[in-house]
Structure 1
Amino acid sequence: MNLLQYFNLKYIGRFAFLSAMVFLTSCSTKKNTMVNRTYHNVTSYYNVYYNGNDAFKAGTKKINDSYKDNYSLLLPVFKHSSDEAVRDAFGDMNRAIEKGSKCVRKHSITEKPKRKEGKNQDKKDKEFFEQKQFVKWIDDAYLLIGKSQFYKHDFYAGIETFSYIVREYNDPAIKYEAYIWLARTYIEMAKFEKALDFLAKLETEKVLVPKSLIGPLALTEADLLIRQKDYEKAIPFMVEAVANTNKKNERARYLYILAQLYQKNEEKEKAYETFGRVVDLNQNYEMTFNSRINQASIFNGAAADSRPLQKELNKMLKDDKNIDYRDQIYYALGNIAFNESRDQDAIDYFLLSAHVSTQNNNQKGMSYLAAADIYFGKPDYRNSQAFYDSAISILSPEFPDYLLLKNKSQNLNELVKNLVVIESEDSLQRIALLPESQRNSFIDQLISKVVEEERKEKELAAQEQKEMVYLQQQGNEMRSQEGGSWYFYNQNMMVMGLQEFKKKWGDRKLEDNWRRKNKSVTSFDDLSEESSASADSNKQVFSNKSREYYLVGLPLTDSSMQLSKQRVEEAYFNLAGIYKERFNDFNQSIGGYLKLIELYPQTGYRLSSYYSLYKLFFLVKNYPKAEEYKAKILNEFPDSDYAKVLGNPDYFKELEKIDNQVKFMYQATYKYFLNNNCAEVQNNYQYVDSVFHESTLLSKFALLSALCEGNRGDTAALKQSLNLFKEKFPKSEEVAYADEVLTAMDRKPREIELAEKAKDEFGAELSTSKIDSIDLAIFKYNPQQIHYYLLVVSNKKASPNSVQFKVTNFNLDYYSFLEFDVGNELLSADYTCVVVKKFKNQSMANNYFESVIIAGEVLGDLTDDSYRSFIISAENYATFVQDKNLLKYQRFFEINYLKK
């Protein structure tokens, strides 16, 4: 290398270095030049946004991979993320937010570029200079931040971010996507009306929405409607989503949802066809399998030959890879049988489905439910009850209409309980009425069955013992071969043992006497227990192989026989009512009432049974019978309310009118009570007592009258009037309130107790000497002035917002016809004062103060050192808010309000 070359390289290197330094220092976001824009557009993407977007993709993949679709339920439009999956993705989403924020912070250019003098601006130039942002990845960064916040379930932060985007940016691809994410966020928060506002705006501007967003928009609209259970309106949006989706796996999933929506909307042909399209795409074995199953479930037996479909399903049963899906295949075969009116075959398939279902509790529950529905439709309420009960015990509370099914099951339980009472008491009565020799012979036969059953159980136990020894020997050999692993850690042994158990016993519930397949031998025991449930538990316990064991529950005396008959009588009446009120099974109800009257002609339920029969015969259009029972009521019970109703159809309307009149009077009386107008309270009570003596509200008037004694300040008179009230209305609901007032009067007022034992909110002891030294002259005592109720809450120990919410609810429950203004005042960083305005005077405020303490709904969850409550005049309140010294006012309150 010669000298010239050396100096050339030397200066070229220095020049390159200096140029790079000038370039880098010139790329400030405060200057808007072409070089700056190019630099920040390149570096914002490759150095920051790209990495953040990669983290976002990794997080969403974790969330989606963790979600498992339940194909027996309507699939969600968007895969929901469990809390655990969200936690797993937190790191990725935080990194995405961090990178997005860094992109905005370090690369955003909002400065306007310098205009060249003398150059005329065309439309393109004007649009360029009017931009708010000159780096094209900044709006993408904001969108990345918002979406990451959404997946973290930080919805409020996401709303702020998306709202900023639609406010600040005009790029349709970004702006309209932010609108879609805003709608999705509000949907996740169940604020459907708000979500609908954004979606409606997008629909009106749909021509401006980029084609790439039409699919996501349609999905979001479908999601909103599905969550509102408006399946019919959701269908066209899912059709649009399918049409605008290119990825086959996504299209298959959306088609599956569309087919489910057609099912919900009873469009069976379209559902069948759409499930077929899912099968054709063949993207996911489980989805394809469930599509075929669903096709079988909605197959219309009347319109086509089901044999090819049944043949295919039976072929699927033989495929080893479908072992875990056999329950669904049998369920599909059951649906085919049901659609072809082969009810018994359908029941057999459904029960077989439940039997082979070992992992899918949802399917097991659905199979029991299908069998229960068939029995219910017959109707066969006993079998229906058994299978509804099994279904409800297995199905998840999230199952569609779970609460309705649970209510139906409970109604059936109640019905069958009464059927069991009738049958068991009838059996016990028949046995009790047998001649003693026949009765003893019957019992001896039962004892023989018990002895035989025990013999068989001993044989089984001996056989099990032999098998256990064999298994232990096999286990020892296997342990020697497999390193001595314990039985329950040895998968081969576990599987072998489980198979042997199921081969011998089938699926058995963990319970006593689980070996018994037929528990009929114990049926007499159950009847006996049913009859003698209330018997003295200290009575002698007999062996189940003695006659005395079975004789205990029999109604052998006149009194026990009479009690048994009363139980049957009541059960028939209950049964008839359940048929009518809970199942609308009018014919069964009629039969129940007629049987009751046949067996017990002088039953105490005769009048109500007559009236029910009159209405039931009218409903089934058997008018002659309806007239017959109407005549029975008028002739046998002429003075009853039922007779008055039949004689005067407006009778109950007139009673309701009177009831409304008394209710209106009670509201007025309660206002008089709050205003301390005891004279009017007494007048109204006396009027209602004399004119509407049968009114159910009379006890409420009486209580207000009694409490007026307290407003006069006479404690002894108040106690006496409350005790008299209790004697006059011992069974009224208001007795509990009267007891609470009497109990409260027997102890010190709560606020005085707290003042004596607790520490002041600001940490000072509430000792009398210290409080007395404070100058209280700033407060004026004026009992006739308008008053407020104050509840001072420690922000560290309680939630002021929660307390204010409870106060508002308390007012709605107890003072619904008075308009209170509930607000709050921040006393300091640590203390907030909840304020209830306003009361006419001290007396009214004091009534409210005491009712809050007695009810306990506001203060019940607060600890003694987390709050103080007072009443205060409007004038003193202004002083208190300015002074903010809780200690001063507490002392003033004690002297002027509590100790007077």
Structure 2
Amino acid sequence: MKTFYKFILFLSCVALITQSCSRKKDKFLNRKFHSTATKYNVLYNGNIALQRGIDGVNNEFTENFWKLLPIERMAVSEDIFLPGQSKNADFERAEEKAIKAIQVHGMNIGGKEKNPQIDEAYLLLGQARYYDQRFVPAMAAFNNILNKYPTSDKINQVKIWREKTSMRLDNDAGAIEKLKRLLEEEKGAIEGQDLADASAALAQAYLNTNSKDSAIAQLTVAAENTKIKREKARYHFIKGQLYNEFGKKDSANLEFDAIIDMHRQVPRSFYINAHLEKSYNADVSNVDDVEFQEYLTDLEENRENRPFLDKIYYRIAEYHRNKMSDSIAEVYYNKSLRKTTSDQYLKSLSYETLGNMYFDKNVYKTAGAYYDSTMTVMTVNTKPYRVIKKKRENLDDVIYYEGIAQTNDSILRMVSLPKAEQLAIYTKFAEDQKLKEIEARKQKEEALKKESLQSVPNPANNNPRNSIGFGNPPGVSTDILNTGSSKGSSNFYFYNSTTVAYGKTEFLKIWGNRKLQDNWRHSSQSANLTTTTEVDSLTGTTEEDIRFNPETYIALLPTKQSELDSIAKERNFAYYQLGIIYKEKFKELELAKSKLESLLDSNPEDRLVLPSKYNLYRIYVELGLHIKADAIKSAIINEYPDSRYAEILLNPQSELSKDENSPESIYTQIYNKFNDELYAEVIAETEVQIKRFEGDDFVPKFEILKASAKGRLYGFEAYKEGINYIALTYGNTEEGKKAQDLIDNALPILAKKEFISDNDSDKFNVIFQFENNSGEDIDAFIKILDEEVAKIDYFDLTTSKDVYTENTTFVVVHGLKSIGGANGFAELLKSEEKDKRGRTIKPKITRPYFAISSPNYAIIQRHKNLNAYLKLQ
């Protein structure tokens, strides 16, 4: 009977569940079943997946405290995904659960949803899509709730999420309008976390539209109402950053203090950066130095702050640099760099600051190395990267010319000293070198000795008794035991091969090879003893080593006047270049003034005097040294009245630097002649302008133009000679670097003289040759040729007049496709024609010609080897 009742009860339950599973019946049991299944099964699992995905997004996001923090901790990726693809498996699972809840448990009866959990399913769906950065589908999900479930208890959350999504779609203005309306209409009704979320979203919209003062007010509301400590710390920190932008340091410090007061309740990164930001806001001139240093030291020594030591060290370095303690600052910058960190921006700041410090100390090589390191941790092609790169490239010139100036100055100074002073200086130098050599050898031998001693086996480990676990007998010392006959268990000197070998080496070094006999110590008994007068026992080098002889260095000093003049000339040019670089590229006017004044005091060659004086005049004016400026202005006008510099000084308002007498204008005029193939005129005029503008930055450009014209007129060797001259003479200018690039890459290709086979080309020319002094009218011939060429409609033919040499000009027909076609075309021009009446018309063109492929034509123009080509035909 009991079994019967159980069976009846089971059937009833099955029937009840079956009835309640229906989504089409608006019964209490149906509604409760689907609501419970949605909430505690599908949505529960979906929300877990969503939270797991959010945690993943938070973990992947790296806070950049150097910039204004975003309100929401989420980095938007630029990756493009196809429809149906997801960036995150957790968000994909959350979306699947939301869709399942809607499809399986939705109870849309009579146009109304009877399952009160479906609106939350749509909310989960929108949030999953939002965090997966599919904002358009997310917007659709949120709008669906607003349209179908206007009475939902989640309606305010949905409105906030919709506007957050709208901002992600760049509709900040619309988001501001709707969020403001929501806060006004629901005033009093919306509170707690919802109010915090709405205010934070509105603050982000204000930040996106650069209304930062309005954002501060909303962040205040958000910070007061959120219960999530991490969010509270973020809102306070952003407010502090905004107040700093407005210059309100006191208000900013209040925000940072609010974070510091929360201590371990917030992420450590916010706590440390709040301390650092507050320290940056401190007025160092008014604070107690001892107290402030103790404050920074406490941050440094706190074990909890170890992950942030890179930033702490950088802050301490900045403090010492502002206090003009550069040596201490450098130590802390390097300590910051040595700390493993993913903060590339911090690394770039440290490297750049160290580079600037060394640049200010005129240690340009080291500064350049730091700038190189700076660029390795910067984003390529950004504006800061380009600034550093340009500064580094300019530094190459400074390093080069400073090296020349320092070396040549040193040589000239030494040469000017009396022989006795030279000898004294180099004697001290030689002795220093010898002492360094001795010290280096001592250190090396001590290291070898230490290594040998460390290789001696430990007697305790070698004792057979110890190896099996026996100790010493009571009352018997290790020394007594070690006097046994067993070599393996003794530390006796001669039983150890390593120490014996070391002893032999030391004996030979000190005593040399000695016979085993009485009185072996006497020098007369030495078989191969080298006295200390011949060999230094420490250095292993003879005292006659040329490195330790001062006469060696004196002999290297130049003595010929021509050599000294060349060194002085090179030094003067380096001074001039440094003066211009410091003035134009680095705006270091004091350094530029020093170099140019030193140049004028060094009896420079005439070509450098005038441009140096003019640049000094400009520097004096900018530095406010009006007396010196007036003096040097008068000197330029009186001593060089016909120069363009004098013209500029006499009439500065006319901007003569840009008129027809400026190098820019003259260069343009000559370049136009180059395009017109007036190469002889170009060469002559560039030579005049190079002499006229000696020392000007435009001179290398004239040199390039001159080399190009010579190449066109005289051939490859003349061009090569000109390019080599530019690379050597103007190596650190832009033109010099281009010349060197041509030498390395282009000239080896252009040097090839071998003609190619006609079968390897599909472009051919017909050439008519004219001698320039023959009196023939080349232009008249070209006119006739053009008329004949126009009759040929099955080829796209053109003509040109090309200079070959000073005495030879080519008239060229281009556009033929084969060597046979070229020869046939030329013969066609020479053939007779019949007029309409049948009368014979003599050909208009009967000149000799030769056909040539375009590549071979380029070779004969480049190497001027026409005769070599014609011999092959």
TM-score scaled by length of structure 2:
0.55
Contact 2:648 2:656 in 1 (8 A): no
Partner of 1:454: 437
Amino acid in structure 1 at the alignment position of 2:136: E
- Give the distance between the partners of 1:456 and 1:312, measured in 2 at CA: 44
Please tell me whether residue 60 in structure 1 is matched to residue 54 in structure 2.
yes
Partner of 2:248: 267
Deviation at 1:456, TM superposition (A): 1.0
- Give the distance between the partners of 2:219 and 2:302, measured in 1 at CA: 34
Give the secondary-structure state (helix, strand or coil) at the position aligned to 2:585.
Answer: helix
Give the secondary-structure state (helix, strand or coil) at the position aligned to 2:282.
Answer: coil
- Give the distance between the partners of 1:550 and 1:582, measured in 2 at CA: 38
Partner of 2:471: none
Contact 1:245 1:251 in 2 (8 A): yes
Amino acid in structure 2 at the alignment position of 1:27: R
Give matches, 1:370-519, under 5 Å. Answer: 380-382=360-362, 386=366, 389-390=369-370, 393=373, 396-397=377-378, 401=384, 404=387, 407-408=390-391, 411=394, 414-415=397-398, 417-434=400-417, 439=422, 442-468=425-451
- Decide which of 9, 14, 24 is 1:17's aligned counterpart: 14
- Give the distance between the partners of 2:454 and 2:208, measured in 1 at CA: 54
Partner of 1:309: 292
Partner of 1:27: 23
What do you get for the CA RMSD once the two structures are aligned? 5.7
Deviation at 1:367, TM superposition (A): 5.7
Instruction: Output one character per residue of 1:197-256: Cα deviation in whole Å (capped at 9) or x when no partner.
Output: 554555664536866566456656766888999988865565454344321233224323
Deviation at 1:359, TM superposition (A): 1.6
Contact 1:296 1:335 in 2 (8 A): no
Give matches, 1:218-617, under 5 Å. Answer: 238-239=219-220, 241-283=222-264, 284-285=267-268, 287-314=270-297, 332=315, 335-336=318-319, 342-344=323-325, 347-352=327-332, 354-355=334-335, 358-360=338-340, 380-382=360-362, 386=366, 389-390=369-370, 393=373, 396-397=377-378, 401=384, 404=387, 407-408=390-391, 411=394, 414-415=397-398, 417-434=400-417, 439=422, 442-468=425-451, 544=547, 550=553, 554-617=557-620
Contact 1:350 1:367 in 2 (8 A): no
Partner of 1:98: 96
Q: 1:456 to 1:237 in 2, by over 3 A?
A: farther
Instruction: Output one character per residue of 1:695-724: Cα deviation in whole Å (capped at 9) or x when no partner.
Output: 645656779xxxxxxxxxxxxxxxxxx999
- Give the distance between the partners of 2:225 and 2:676, measured in 1 at CA: 68
- Decide which of 121, 136, 145 is 1:160's aligned counterpart: 136
Amino acid in structure 2 at the alignment position of 1:17: V
Give the secondary-structure state (helix, strand or coil) at the position aligned to 1:605.
Answer: helix
Instruction: Output one character per residue of 1:648-695: Cα deviation in whole Å (capped at 9) or x when no partner.
Output: 556558957999xx9xxxxxxxxxxxxxxxxxxxxxxxxxxxx99716
- Give the distance between the partners of 1:319 and 1:420, measured in 2 at CA: 46
Deviation at 1:133, TM superposition (A): 12
- Give the distance between the partners of 1:220 and 1:16, measured in 2 at CA: 50
Partner of 2:43: 49
Larger Rg: 2
Q: 1:68 to 1:692 in 2, by over 3 A?
A: closer
Partner of 2:770: none
Amino acid in structure 1 at the alignment position of 2:94: A
Contact 2:236 2:259 in 1 (8 A): yes
Deviation at 1:396, TM superposition (A): 3.0
Worse-superposed segment, 47-56 or 68-77? 68-77
Amino acid in structure 1 at the alignment position of 2:93: R
Amino acid in structure 2 at the alignment position of 1:99: K
Q: 1:108 to 1:249 in 2, by over 3 A?
A: same
Q: 1:229 to 1:14 in 2, by over 3 A?
A: closer
Amino acid in structure 2 at the alignment position of 1:576: G
Deviation at 1:616, TM superposition (A): 2.6
- Give the distance between the partners of 2:297 and 2:713, measured in 1 at CA: 75
Please tell me whether residue 179 in structure 1 is matched to residue 163 in structure 2.
yes
- Give the distance between the partners of 2:225 and 2:677, measured in 1 at CA: 71
Deviation at 1:619, TM superposition (A): 2.6
Deviation at 1:68, TM superposition (A): 5.7
Partner of 1:694: 669
- Give the distance between the partners of 2:438 and 2:76, measured in 1 at CA: 54
Instruction: Output one character per residue of 1:856-895: Cα deviation in whole Å (capped at 9) or x when no partner.
Output: xxxxxxxxxxxxxxxxxxxxxxxxxxxxxxxxxxxxxxxx
Contact 2:87 2:132 in 1 (8 A): no
Give matches, 1:588-667, under 5 Å. Answer: 588-649=591-652, 652=655
Amino acid in structure 1 at the alignment position of 2:414: I
- Give the distance between the partners of 1:401 and 1:226, measured in 2 at CA: 24
Q: 1:388 to 1:166 in 2, by over 3 A?
A: farther
Give the secondary-structure state (helix, strand or coil) at the position aligned to 1:599.
Answer: coil
TM-score scaled by length of structure 1:
0.54
Contact 1:573 1:592 in 2 (8 A): yes
Deviation at 1:281, TM superposition (A): 0.9
- Give the distance between the partners of 2:31 and 2:761, measured in 1 at CA: 74
Q: 1:405 to 1:251 in 2, by over 3 A?
A: farther
Contact 2:53 2:90 in 1 (8 A): yes
Q: Which runs of 5+ in 1 are unaligned?
A: 115-127, 151-157, 187-193, 482-541, 663-690, 704-721, 752-781, 785-845, 848-900
- Amino-acid identity (%): 19
Q: 1:594 to 1:746 in 2, by over 3 A?
A: farther
- Give the distance between the partners of 2:457 and 2:171, measured in 1 at CA: 65
Give the secondary-structure state (helix, strand or coil) at the position aligned to 2:59.
Answer: helix
Please tell me whether residue 147 in structure 1 is matched to residue 130 in structure 2.
yes
Deviation at 1:747, TM superposition (A): 8.6
- Give the distance between the partners of 2:606 and 2:451, measured in 1 at CA: 61
Amino acid in structure 2 at the alignment position of 1:94: E
Partner of 1:487: none
- Give the distance between the partners of 1:610 and 1:420, measured in 2 at CA: 24
Give the secondary-structure state (helix, strand or coil) at the position aligned to 1:453.
Answer: helix
- Give the distance between the partners of 1:269 and 1:385, measured in 2 at CA: 42
Deviation at 1:451, TM superposition (A): 2.4
Deviation at 1:282, TM superposition (A): 0.3
- Give the distance between the partners of 1:66 and 1:203, measured in 2 at CA: 29
Q: Which runs of 5+ in 2 are unaligned?
A: 147-154, 467-544, 679-707, 724-734, 764-792, 796-813, 816-873
Instruction: Output one character per residue of 1:122-175: Cα deviation in whole Å (capped at 9) or x when no partner.
Output: xxxxxx69x99993234224313313422xxxxxxx133134236544245324
Deviation at 1:568, TM superposition (A): 1.8
- Give the distance between the partners of 2:443 and 2:402, measured in 1 at CA: 35
Contact 1:242 1:254 in 2 (8 A): yes
Deviation at 1:177, TM superposition (A): 0.9
Instruction: Output one character per residue of 1:16-49: Cα deviation in whole Å (capped at 9) or x when no partner.
Output: 434433443x326xx9888776655544444433
Instruction: Output one character per residue of 1:289-309: Cα deviation in whole Å (capped at 9) or x when no partner.
Output: 443344333321344434433
Partner of 2:688: none
